Structure 1
Amino acid sequence: MSRIAFITGATSGIGAASARALAGEGWRIIGLGRRKDRLEALADELGEGFLPITGDMRDLEDLQRIVRQLPEEWQGVDLLLNNAGLAPPMDDFQDADLSAQLNAMHTNMDGLVALTRALLPSLIERKGSIINLSSVAGSYPYRGGAVYGATKAFLTQFGLSLRSDLSGTGVRVTSIEPGMVETEFTLVRNGGDHEASDKLYADMDPLTADDIAEAVRWCAMLPANVNINRLEVMPTNQSFAGFSVHRDT
């Protein structure tokens, strides 16, 4: 029987790209997301090896139900990819809409913790893996990123501490921390403003969803005795010196 990966935020970007990458290695994929049409399209693409599940990371009770009611042939989860997340608009915190900030916290932290806890029995039984999609924003501050950066710092620390708790179980825990990746993420953050999204990535050759999916695939396929604790990935033209970006024009 092939291994099973449970991927959150599977409807687009890194989640969808990771589903394709792991499916290419023979994994079966449980894809969780809010957009049913996107999940169905991915199911059409990947076939019977993809189980689409519509759900919201903010609904903690529903996440528990989803895990309890997985079909029997899909219950042995070997990998949890905690990819779902969002960022509020980049307003200074003192000027920011509080509801948008809290929404990011509920999505990026509360739901992730609840789902991870629900899947741990299977992951422990199968000596599986957890890969958390964090961000360089959790390590390096920038203006307008107070809450988003804090949620990603939480995710990184959660993973490191969880690895301590799981010592001796055989479960691997990895934090992948990308820099600038051109996906729908920034478009959503800016309320659908294509111009703002295009301007952010102009002339600097950002990472792609496929780049990070390759990192996910690599970590997932390593021998069982190898654990990548943290993997920080940036485009060549981005550095951590105040998030300085070199542009070609």
Structure 2
Amino acid sequence: MSRLALVTGAARGIGRAVVDELLAREYRVIATARAAEQLAALEDEIDSPALEVGLLDIEAPDVPHRVEGLLGDRALSLLVLNAARFAPWDETVGSADLSQARAVVETNLFGSWAVVQAALPALRRARGTIIGVGSGAGSHGDPRFGLANGGAASYAVSKAALHALLHKLSSEVAGDGIQVHVADPGLTATSPGMEEFGARPVPDGARSILAPLDGHAAPGVLTRDGAPLPW
């Protein structure tokens, strides 16, 4: 039986590339997104019996019900937490609209947290792996876009909080045989014009996210391309 993976925010960009990479690695993949039309387009584009799709809005209160419905009593080998909300690049701590900032943190931290809680029983059945999509924006180790230098304040803070959450989780579930990783895709060309800032192709970002599966990263560590990135 093939290994089962669930990917949030899987309809486009890095999430879609992660789905392609996992299918190439012979996973059975549950690709989730918040809109039915996105999932229909994904099914049209990917003709594979190993692909399942499911509606999952990580901002919605029905996350536990949705995740449990998608997984049933199956064992989950891999959970990829990719879904996220972004913030304007020119947002600063001093200028941020706090209602919008709260929405970013609610999605990126608490939305992912809700998915993790709902998926843990299935992950325990498989002694599975969690990979959270982190960001250099939420670290002290990225000299260009990190906490000391970059913009998009609420996004950076939310990713730093996600890093901390998953680091905490890693120690909690180690006894269950579950590995928890945080992987940064690096600056990736998910929007027009990003190449001008040195962004790399989306498939490269997806491979960076999945690099912990190759056994080169310790659990609980933030990585980029499989190499540690200082918190």
Give the TM-score, by structure 2 length.
0.84
Shift in CA distance, 17/109, structure 1 to aligned 2, threshold 3 Å:
same
1:106-117 alignment runs, 5 A limit:
106-117=106-117
Matched residue type, 1:216:
I
Deviations 1:33-67 (A, max 9, x none): 1232222222231423211112211113x111112
C-alpha deviation, 1:222, in angstroms = 3.7
CA contact (8 A) 1:219 1:228 kept: no
Structure 1 equivalent of residue 69 of structure 2: 69
More moved, 17-26 vs 173-182: 173-182
Following the alignment from structure 1 to structure 2, what is the Cα–Cα distance between the partners of residues 88 and 56?
A: 18
Whole-Å separation in 2 of the counterparts to 1:133 and 1:215? 10
Alignment of 1:34-53 (within 5 A): 34-44=34-44, 45-53=46-54
Q: Retained in 1: the 8 A contact 2:30–2:52?
A: yes
1:165-184 matched pairs, under 5 angstroms: 165-184=172-191
Residue matched to 2:91: 91
C-alpha contact 1:93 1:144 (8 A) present in aligned 2: no
| Equivalent residue letter for 2:204 | D
Distance in 2 between the 1:226 and 1:26 partners? 23
CA distance in 2, matches of 1:178, 1:49: 25
Q: Tell me what 1:206 maps to.
A: 199
Aligned residue in 2 for 1:58? 59
CA separation of 1:92 and 1:222: change in aligned 2, threshold 3 A? closer
* Whole-angstrom distance in 2 between the partners of 1:71 and 1:115: 12
Structure 1: gaps spanning 5 or more residues: 185-196, 234-239, 241-249
Deviates more, 1:98-107 or 1:79-88: 98-107
C-alpha deviation, 1:137, in angstroms: 0.7
Q: Give the AA of the match of 2:50.
A: G
Deviation at 1:129, TM superposition (A): 0.1
Shift of 1:180: 1.5
Cross-structure match for 2:18 = 18
1:182 offset after TM fit, Å? Answer: 1.1
Cα separation, 1, equivalents of 2:94 and 2:198: 33
The aligned residue for residue 247 of structure 1 is none
| Residues 1:219 and 1:92: Cα distance change in structure 2 (over 3 Å) | closer
Give distance in 2, aligned partners of 1:25 and 1:213.
13
Match of 1:157 in 2: 164
- 2:209 aligned with 1:216, yes or no? yes
Q: Count matched residues.
A: 218
2:162 partner letter: L
Q: What is the aligned partner in structure 1 of residue 77 from structure 2?
A: 78
How far, CA to CA, are the matches of 2:97 and 2:153 in structure 1? 13
Q: Deviations over 1:53-92 (max 9, x none)?
A: 12211113x11111222265x8321110000112121323
* Deviation per residue, 1:116-168 (Å, 9 max, x gap): 01111111121100000010011122353321111111111111111111122
Is contact 1:109–1:151 with CA below 8 Å preserved after alignment?
A: yes
Instruction: Report the equivalent of 1:229.
Output: 221
- How far apart, CA to CA, are the structure 1 residues paired with 2:96 and 2:175? 44
Whether contact under 8 Å (2:132, 2:166) holds in the other structure is yes
Q: Are the aligned partners of 2:10 and 2:19 in contact in 1 as well (CA < 8 Å)?
A: yes
Q: Which has the larger radius of gyration?
A: 1
Deviation track 1:151-193 (CA, whole Å, cap 9, x = no partner) reads 1111111111111111222111111123311104xxxxxxxxx
Contact 2:184 2:208 (8 Å CA) reproduced: no
Q: Pairwise CA RMSD of aligned residues? A: 2.5
